[in-house]
Chain A
Amino acid sequence: MDFDFSEDQVMIIDSARKFLEKECPKNKIRELKEDEKGYDPELWSRMAEMGWMGLILPEEYEGTGMDFFDLTILMEEMGRNILPAPFFDTVALCSLPILEYGTSEQKKRFLPKIACGEEIWTLALTEPSASYEPSGVELRATSLQEDYVLEGTKLFVPYANVADRLLVVARTSQEGITALIVDAGSQGIKTEVIPTTAHDKQCEVVFDKVRVPKDNVLGEVGKGWEIVEFLLQRVSVLKCAEMLGGAQFVLEMANSYAKERVQFDKPIGSFQAIQHKLAEVFINVEGLRRLVYEAAWNISTGSPSRLLTSMVKAKANEVYQQTCIQGVKVHGAIGFTEELDLSLYFLRTKASEFMLGDTGFHRERIAVELEDYQPLFMSV
């Protein structure tokens, strides 16, 4: 048992923090809210130069071959600073499934482009039902000679407005779900940015008879849900790490404010009503940190746990939201304004909560695991 970071990991954290503070300050985040693309291509290429897109891809695909834990702590830094860019979408939601399920041909074709920052990818999974259950996938993929023809609507697709390719989860038969790699420029795709509160470029993507070559099936036909499960059971930990980073920063903001803001001739942080609020938040953020690291370490060392991952996502959803709410309360009226950086974080919590499963969704998955589990006292 050892919770120290390795030297490499400390380097990842330090360099990411410095880089993001310098290259992606809060005024840039605000500008990007109004930007049509919602990300800065120049920053994107610099991130690629840092080796971030290929951080855990093997060297043969132009990656640096680090592990899942390393990517986890990088995501934590991105959450801490806020990085308005399709990084999670491209790297976590798409490159990892390709690495896991792609044919060697697909890996060779797609991964180096992701690693070099040449292509932006995103996952088109959820639909108007806004569900992460298999039943939520209604978009049809009908076989027609060498192609599939896609017909349907995907909703809350992050950064589809700038994506080069989409990983589309479609229904290929009554019971069968299949993942397909789709050129975003294909004929029949219509993308529209949804006006989310966070202005984070989530899109509605309508597929009107879009033809996709059968070579572009990722994994096996009819077994696409396995890929979604891979995302739910492993990749979601990366989202949790991002949320952890955000929660940590919000806590730090509120804590500094409580030390500076004077009322009744004292810093408000000296009042227990404020201090206990912050202490409770602090306890939860510290707990979330250890949970995220535990889950990430398990995945890194080849023993992912469905139960633990759902626990982490449920916890992250709750902690990030509560941290922001308590953070606003500590700030009082100023916390309610656009000018306070806290708002940038708070407004993003809804997207993070929804991504790869909200709290109720994961609570149910935990319950399913508990239903089958053999308690220790009955097994010895």
Chain B
Amino acid sequence: MDFKFGEKEEKLRKEIREFTKKELPPGWLSSMLEEESDDKEWAFAMSMSKKLAEKGWLTMSWPEEYGGKGASLWEQLVYSEEASYWGIPGVTMGIGGVDWVGPSLMMFGTAEQKNKYLPLIASGEPDGIWCTAYSEPNAGSDFAKIRTRAVREGDEYVINGQKIWTSAAHRARWCWLAVKTDPDAAKPHNGISVFVVDMKSKGITVRPLMNYVGLHIFNEVFFDDLRVPAANLVGKENNGWYQLMHSLGYERGSIAGRCYGYNKRILDELIVYTRGNGLFREREIRHKLADIAVELETQKVLGYETVWKMSKGDSPVYEPSRDKVFNDHILERLAMLGTEILGGYSQIDPLSRNCKWTKLNGHMEKLFWLFLGFAFAAGTDEVELNIVGQFGLKLPKSY
């Protein structure tokens, strides 16, 4: 048993802290996964992606030949923790660029695909930005039932259909697209394929979907006779489900640290804020802060456990779902406590950052209005609990 990080990780931690001090504006508080909504913030995020790429951190887990550093899982964890604590924007290269597109291409892509797309992601340039299109109006949690269809015609596939909740589609250069290639497969999972799609292609329409606070994060994406070269198929035809499940493991390692770092920062901000205005002296408030502090410490060590299992070569099955559910609970509590602490000020529109009455950069309001969206993204709580029950507790499949 050993709960200590190694020298390498501690050194990296220090370097990242120095980096944030130099590169982020004073008093910077991250804008939390909404960078794609605002042109100015997007530009800042892209400038940071570039700097992270120059440091070799952006894709540190990747092998050197693809622009990475071959960093260990523990180094990645430290990087994720620190980056999200300090709110460094631009770490993901859109939705999935760093976390699953790159790793999937390394596992299943052709040499040509690897040589073309991986350096683009690793460069931190706008041409390395991805969106990920899985969900459809009739296939959310039940993802295998997607209907967007790709039909082979000579050296091309012709794609027709619609995706929804596609975050960052309006910023992305490429789309990581899941489609049906065999609608008659005995099991719907066996008829899915993954394609790389150039977002500049003819036949793609991106329609903004505003969320209820007015942020433009996700979109509907329509495909009308979109023609994609057959060379853009990733891996084997009809093998997409397996490939996606496999690549999820990569994403999971970084998520634990990212969630913990972000939550820890929010808690720290709330502690400082309530100490400043005297609310901390109220037993009810300080006890709620104490309770959340316990949950965060628990989240931290659970995330470490997931990474530890991965570092031993195990492929975690239920742990990422467990960590996701746990994080959703924490976000909800933080959002509720954060706005309770702000009281009347929590009514201020989080988008009016220049309002003189805005507290904590509008961060608590933003968290409150966005936490439900995070709870749906990448699997609802209910779906994640199904996975925990089925694979963690070996209970019968419940859905």
Residues of chain A having any CB pair with chain B under 8 Å:
1-6, 9, 69, 255, 258-259, 266-267, 269-272, 275-276, 278-280, 282-283, 286-288, 290-291, 293-294, 297-298, 308, 311, 314-315, 360, 363-364, 366-367, 370-371, 373, 375-378, 380
Contact B5 A1 (CB under 8 A): yes
Tell me the smallest distance from the CB of B88 to a CB of chain A, in Å: 13
- Shortest Cβ-Cβ A-B pairs, 4 listed: A375-B268, A290-B301, A270-B396, A366-B290
**Residue B272 CB within 8 A of the other chain:** yes
How far is B271's CA from A258's CA once the two chains are assembled, in angstroms?
A: 42
Besides A3-B304, A364-B286, A370-B286, 12 other A-B contacts (C-beta < 8 A)? A1-B2, A2-B1, A5-B1, A6-B1, A258-B395, A267-B396, A270-B396, A290-B305, A294-B301, A315-B298, A370-B293, A377-B86
Enumerate chain B residues within 8 angstroms of A298, measured Cβ to Cβ. Answer: 3
Tell me the smallest distance from the CB of A297 to a CB of chain B, in Å: 5
Q: Which stretch (B113-121, B169-177, B382-390) binds chain A?
A: B382-390
Chain B, residue nearest A373 (CB):
B271
Tell me the smallest distance from the CB of B395 to a CB of chain A, in Å: 4
Enumerate chain A residues within 8 angstroms of B311, measured Cβ to Cβ. Answer: 1
Contact A371 B275 (CB under 8 A): yes
Enumerate chain B residues within 8 angstroms of A288, measured Cβ to Cβ. Answer: 298
How far is B1's CA from A51's CA once the two chains are assembled, in angstroms?
A: 22
**Residue B373 CB within 8 A of the other chain:** no
| Interchain pairs with CB closer than 8 A, number | 158
**Residue B64 CB within 8 A of the other chain:** no
**Residue B340 CB within 8 A of the other chain:** no
Contact B287 A360 (CB under 8 A): yes
Contact B396 A380 (CB under 8 A): no
**Residue B331 CB within 8 A of the other chain:** no
Enumerate chain A residues within 8 angstroms of B388, measured Cβ to Cβ. Answer: 279, 282-283
Contact B3 A366 (CB under 8 A): no
List B residues 251-284 near A (Cβ within 8 Å).
Answer: 264-265, 268-269, 271-272, 275, 280, 283
Interface hub of B6, B85, B286, B304 (most chain A Cβ within 10 A): B286
Contact A3 B396 (CB under 8 A): no
**Residue B223 CB within 8 A of the other chain:** no
Is chain B's interface secondary structure helix, strand, loop, or mixed overall? Answer: helix
Contact A2 B21 (CB under 8 A): no
List B residues 333-391 near A (Cβ within 8 Å).
Answer: 382, 385-386, 388-390
Tell me the smallest distance from the CB of A145 to a CB of chain B, in Å: 46
Chain B, residue nearest A287 (CB):
B298
Contact of A1 among B4, B275, B286, B382 (CB under 8 A): B4
**Residue B214 CB within 8 A of the other chain:** no
**Residue B308 CB within 8 A of the other chain:** yes
Contact A282 B399 (CB under 8 A): no
Tell me the smallest distance from the CB of B146 to a CB of chain A, in Å: 23
How far is B395's CA from A258's CA once the two chains are assembled, in angstroms?
A: 8
**Residue B142 CB within 8 A of the other chain:** no
Interface hub of B1, B304, B398 (most chain A Cβ within 10 A): B1
Contact A366 B294 (CB under 8 A): yes
Tell me the smallest distance from the CB of B331 to a CB of chain A, in Å: 15
Known: A283-B388, A371-B275. A278 touches B287 (CB 8 A): no
Contact B308 A3 (CB under 8 A): yes
Known: A279-B388, A279-B392, A366-B290. A297 touches B2 (CB 8 A): yes
Enumerate chain B residues within 8 angstroms of A5, measured Cβ to Cβ. Answer: 1
Tell me the smallest distance from the CB of A324 to a CB of chain B, in Å: 17
Contact of B1 among A69, A271, A367 (CB under 8 A): A69
Enumerate chain B residues within 8 angstroms of A315, measured Cβ to Cβ. Answer: 294, 298
Contact of A377 among B2, B265, B298, B382 (CB under 8 A): B265
Enumerate chain A residues within 8 angstroms of B5, measured Cβ to Cβ. Answer: 1
Enumerate chain B residues within 8 angstroms of A373, measured Cβ to Cβ. Answer: 271
Contact B396 A363 (CB under 8 A): no
Contact A294 B293 (CB under 8 A): no
List B residues 289-337 near A (Cβ within 8 Å).
Answer: 289-291, 293-294, 297-299, 301-302, 304-305, 307-308, 311, 322, 325-326
**Residue B17 CB within 8 A of the other chain:** yes
Chain A, residue nearest B291 (CB):
A363
How far is B74's CA from A145's CA once the two chains are assembled, in angstroms?
A: 62
How far is B305's CA from A377's CA once the two chains are assembled, in angstroms?
A: 26
How far is B74's CA from A267's CA once the two chains are assembled, in angstroms?
A: 41
Enumerate chain B residues within 8 angstroms of A291, measured Cβ to Cβ. Answer: 297-298, 301
Enumerate chain A residues within 8 angstroms of B289, measured Cβ to Cβ. Answer: 367, 370
Contact B398 A272 (CB under 8 A): yes
Known: A1-B5, A278-B393, A297-B1. A308 touches B290 (CB 8 A): no
Contact B286 A371 (CB under 8 A): yes
CB<8 Å pairs between A and B, sample of 6: A1-B3, A269-B389, A269-B396, A279-B325, A282-B392, A293-B1
Contact B393 A255 (CB under 8 A): yes
Contact A279 B308 (CB under 8 A): no
How far is B283's CA from A295's CA once the two chains are assembled, in angstroms?
A: 26
Chain A, residue nearest B308 (CB):
A3
**Residue B397 CB within 8 A of the other chain:** yes
Interface hub of B264, B393, B397 (most chain A Cβ within 10 A): B393
Enumerate chain B residues within 8 angstroms of A9, measured Cβ to Cβ. Answer: 1
A-contact bits for B1-18, CB 8 A (1 contact / 0 none): 111111000000000010
